[in-house]
Structure 1
């Protein structure tokens, strides 16, 4: 590794400055395959301002692609909008105020060198994402909460592998609600698996140990354990014992001192874990039937192939069960029992008092509709499949919004989604549903919406004001048009084969927008392409809820539909002006050094 100092047009390398190297020679160093440690200097002294590891050829190309910007800055004839000769005192502040629309104060530098200006443009301080400054003092039902479905699963819902890794990955991505399906283990210890499927079990104790270790690594905001309890009373007692002993003081076991008319706030619940399961004593539930998996009266994005796959699976399990009637006597400890028939799953309304005692703020109840005769306590939370919730939106959206002002609601993927596909969360967020549980193992468009919503916010995002306050409900009928413009300038250190950028904008159906997508021209540059194309959109926004407008940048090759790199952000979180856009791969992993440089305008 070579240590160099960037000053003006020259680079000093080696700590003893034994030689000089010019900008034109950087390409040779790049082809030597060496990563360079660059020390940026703010003036002609030898004091170092910042350390950054970067591919210098990429940095050089980034500089050259922005040369026209700097030329216009210094000519004081800029399209930036400010009087941007940054060599003059106070003009850097003017650039930040008028072009970037950033907050400045007495500590903001009044002038800046070319080198430091470049550093600013490239740095995380100039990211397109607004710095997070969340208000965490509302009741938790006032927030969207990042949630995972069947967190233990990898792959499909019928035979996918089970692992604690699912919990680690979800929690490190900032997820604040994970799901655990708990069943009787044959050795007397509860196990976790997707019941009546070919998925393999994991001891409940292993799941809890993993949660304990990773619950507050990425975020110290409250975590909800959404537990499906299928155990008998004896193993429920063991569940309660394990929850208390493994999670310790993190587990909420009694109510806090707060306003009893609402749930506590995320601030009050920092570093705390909430246990949620259905209170069977409040739910006289029927046995599960085949129709529970497929509701016929509703349109769904699940394909007929998925339905046939599920039907074939049920037949396979039934044949396997009848052919192995002595399975239970020969099975190893912890193995799941297979159901004889999907219509014959036994009902069990008995509950352990020890487990009931852990239901404090998140008590699962059966959905009984929104009519006036039904009453839900403040701590009651019901779960609906995306299909059932869609029916509620279509028939009772105002009542749904009203309910979600004071209660938590969880939406999960319908049972027909056997391939672990996800559903569009935007429509459910638009009626105030807080917990949209997604299959984190599937990074599809819906997961990118989730990424955009919770990007940088640690799993809790305050809902838009019209969804919180009944005195603003009339605003929900108002749709305004927002003009959004992106000048896609250039890319830095992009993955191979990218030559085009597409920008897509997504909104809830109630916003009444046609598909919104535009693309740049193709570029002939390989690693550091230049486009300088303007993409303009007119977006309908209901009740000014720009928090529910998702902008997705897709980088790809013009000859292929495969997306190589992406970024997603809500319109409410976009910083205007000249910004860098960090890029991620198809599994949401950040691509080191790769950035898109854009100019944004929202009016």
Structure 2
């Protein structure tokens, strides 16, 4: 298996104030992050020069001049005139120390009145990993990190757990997350038993002798009903684990992930959290998954539709406001799909009598959630995906508003179910965009779609999220442990928000616009950015002499390409997350560079849409 070199853009999750870590756009500490407590000598010099220039143009010593400068040039509130006081150089400097002088204006409050498919959602991919996709650790700290940074969609890949060992370490670990203590067993009683009998006794398998009190054993294949495989203690049963399958990544208990999500889901945001499940477990372990989610997320979990009188095929998506502080499960639907019934013929149900379960058919084999497309090998060949276990009905029903279906086209019956979700890799989604762009745009105005990085991104690099946002994709899953262009764009989209951003008007379900090209007004842009100075630039880990640092500023514009608007194939299938327009300043040799008011210009840039164009 290929080994990966140490990558400076990859890093274990920060636990000390992760909300200060950029990428997710968390609003929790955004205002404080815009403050500075001192200015370097080059900045102080330029503030004096700027003050003298503005004094001549606006008369900053007067109230009228201050308000005119703030509203016309700074495009901010006249209330900031309080910071300027008498307009002196000292007060002018204080203004630049405050967050009011930041070039990024605060995000507007989100309008929560729209159905949830009308929003872009700050989303993570393989959330449990702390590094690359082949050999990194899995950690609950990764979930804590992204949740405190504003992430609103996390992913959990769940696999069958290994039988617990005889050591007490597993027991002690699980008790941290609320698992019950093990019952004491008489060592003498077990010492005379063979290994097989001892294992049967320990794990509650059918046929073990001398244990009349243990809970029901896993059913045999083909039995009509299935009892959950439960025990009074974690030690006496295998529990589901979270890891990246068929790799060297380390695992962690599903129970621990549930506990961490419970503790941090709503610390940075009150808006709903989506938990995207990749289920690779056997039916017995799926029962345990259901048990643990109900246990840890009690009071937070959406386990029934808001209108229980409708079947899962017919319920409509609620508004964002209706789901505040709620956890929504995204999971594969395990049943045969029928076209949504007409409202007049739907069978009403109640909270006490939920909708009748849909029958299993052979077509269930083809219904999957996110990663059942053919995987690519490093040589570029495609191999058939490993078969997944069927999702049991009790787990499937937890995906009330996010039911995963295998993508077979935009005109299939499941594509008309209000609560369906299609998850596609970046390459597959680009192919849909090329073949049926109008159909893709129409679909994403009403229904959920999720894009995720292709499997060959072994170093956890990210796709270009803005390409997929412009196609209307709500959930663009990124590797948050990697700091690259994709995560920088994610920061640009969600900076200062609570993780859900309302789509532009032409992208919403209420709009009649038929294509991405006509959904928003496109402009031509002339952009000039003047650079004064930089201060306190941290040295890279391998550097210890400030004179060896050669800083410069690179500016990229992420703008809709003409191929996107005109339904043509994107160069490189949109894989690169580099901007379409690039410029950079001259290089300096200090941690406090003086850029000498150098100006970087972009002239005549086409296809600019304010909401979906980013400056990086």
Task: Give the TM-score, by structure 1 length.
Answer: 0.68
1:73 counterpart residue number: 54
Residues 227/291 of structure 1: CA separation in 2 closer, same or farther (3 Å cut): closer
- The offset of 1:281, in angstroms, is 2.0
The CA deviation string for residues 519-562 of structure 1, in whole angstroms up to 9 with x for no partner, is: 233456652524212222135454x622221211xxxxxxxxxx
The yes-or-no answer on 1:174 pairing with 2:256 is no
The CA deviation string for residues 457-513 of structure 1, in whole angstroms up to 9 with x for no partner, is: 121111122222543346724643122221222223334435432221122332699
The CA deviation string for residues 568-592 of structure 1, in whole angstroms up to 9 with x for no partner, is: xxxxxxxxxxxxxxxxxxxxxxxxx
- The offset of 1:235, in angstroms, is 1.5
1:269 counterpart residue number: 323
> Aligned partners of 1:539 and 1:284: how far apart in 2?
52
1:293 counterpart residue number: 375
1:156 counterpart residue number: 132
The yes-or-no answer on 1:91 pairing with 2:62 is no
8 A Cα contact 1:252 1:360, kept in partner: yes
Higher relative contact order (CA 8 A, sep 6+): 2
Alignment of 1:486-501 (within 5 A): 486-495=529-538, 496=546, 497-501=549-553
The yes-or-no answer on 1:385 pairing with 2:428 is no
1:165 counterpart residue number: 141
8 A Cα contact 1:93 1:109, kept in partner: no
> Aligned partners of 1:522 and 1:345: how far apart in 2?
50
8 A Cα contact 1:89 1:110, kept in partner: no
The unaligned stretches of length 5 or more in structure 1 are 1-49, 79-83, 295-305, 315-341, 553-603
Residues 102/520 of structure 1: CA separation in 2 closer, same or farther (3 Å cut): same
2:611 counterpart residue number: 547
The CA deviation string for residues 93-152 of structure 1, in whole angstroms up to 9 with x for no partner, is: 111111112233699679534223221122112212221222222211111111111111
Please, which of 59, 64, 73 is the counterpart of residue 45 of structure 2? 64
8 A Cα contact 2:47 2:93, kept in partner: no
Residues 511/491 of structure 1: CA separation in 2 closer, same or farther (3 Å cut): farther
* Between structures 1 and 2, the one with greater strand share: 1
8 A Cα contact 2:119 2:501, kept in partner: yes
Residues 386/526 of structure 1: CA separation in 2 closer, same or farther (3 Å cut): closer
1:592 counterpart residue number: none
The CA deviation string for residues 288-336 of structure 1, in whole angstroms up to 9 with x for no partner, is: 9998112xxxxxxxxxxx714x99xx9xxxxxxxxxxxxxxxxxxxxxx
Alignment of 1:311-350 (within 5 A): 345-349=386-390
> Aligned partners of 1:278 and 1:244: how far apart in 2?
18
Residues 163/96 of structure 1: CA separation in 2 closer, same or farther (3 Å cut): same
Alignment of 1:340-419 (within 5 A): 345-349=386-390, 351-371=391-411, 375-419=415-459
- The offset of 1:354, in angstroms, is 2.6
> Aligned partners of 1:108 and 1:481: how far apart in 2?
36
1:100 counterpart residue number: 74
8 A Cα contact 1:479 1:511, kept in partner: no
- The offset of 1:382, in angstroms, is 1.3
Please, which of 592, 597, 606 is the counterpart of residue 527 of structure 1? 592
Alignment of 1:9-24 (within 5 A): none
8 A Cα contact 1:244 1:251, kept in partner: yes
Residues 247/400 of structure 1: CA separation in 2 closer, same or farther (3 Å cut): same
Residues 176/403 of structure 1: CA separation in 2 closer, same or farther (3 Å cut): same
1:594 counterpart residue number: none
The yes-or-no answer on 1:204 pairing with 2:254 is yes
- The offset of 1:435, in angstroms, is 0.5
The CA deviation string for residues 412-440 of structure 1, in whole angstroms up to 9 with x for no partner, is: 11222222221111211111001011111
> Aligned partners of 2:605 and 2:470: how far apart in 1?
14
Residues 269/483 of structure 1: CA separation in 2 closer, same or farther (3 Å cut): same
The CA deviation string for residues 327-384 of structure 1, in whole angstroms up to 9 with x for no partner, is: xxxxxxxxxxxxxxx86944433x4333233221111111121126664311111111
Residues 474/389 of structure 1: CA separation in 2 closer, same or farther (3 Å cut): closer
> Aligned partners of 1:538 and 1:377: how far apart in 2?
45
1:132 counterpart residue number: 107
8 A Cα contact 2:333 2:397, kept in partner: no
Residues 109/125 of structure 1: CA separation in 2 closer, same or farther (3 Å cut): closer
Residues 254/419 of structure 1: CA separation in 2 closer, same or farther (3 Å cut): same
1:195 counterpart residue number: 245
8 A Cα contact 1:287 1:343, kept in partner: no
Alignment of 1:21-40 (within 5 A): none
> Aligned partners of 2:599 and 2:385: how far apart in 1?
60
SS at match of 1:405: helix
SS at match of 2:322: coil
1:244 counterpart residue number: 294
Task: Give the TM-score, by structure 2 length.
Answer: 0.67
Residues 287/399 of structure 1: CA separation in 2 closer, same or farther (3 Å cut): closer
SS at match of 2:263: helix
8 A Cα contact 1:286 1:347, kept in partner: no
> Aligned partners of 1:224 and 1:443: how far apart in 2?
23
8 A Cα contact 2:117 2:446, kept in partner: yes
8 A Cα contact 1:159 1:197, kept in partner: yes
SS at match of 2:321: coil
8 A Cα contact 1:502 1:520, kept in partner: yes
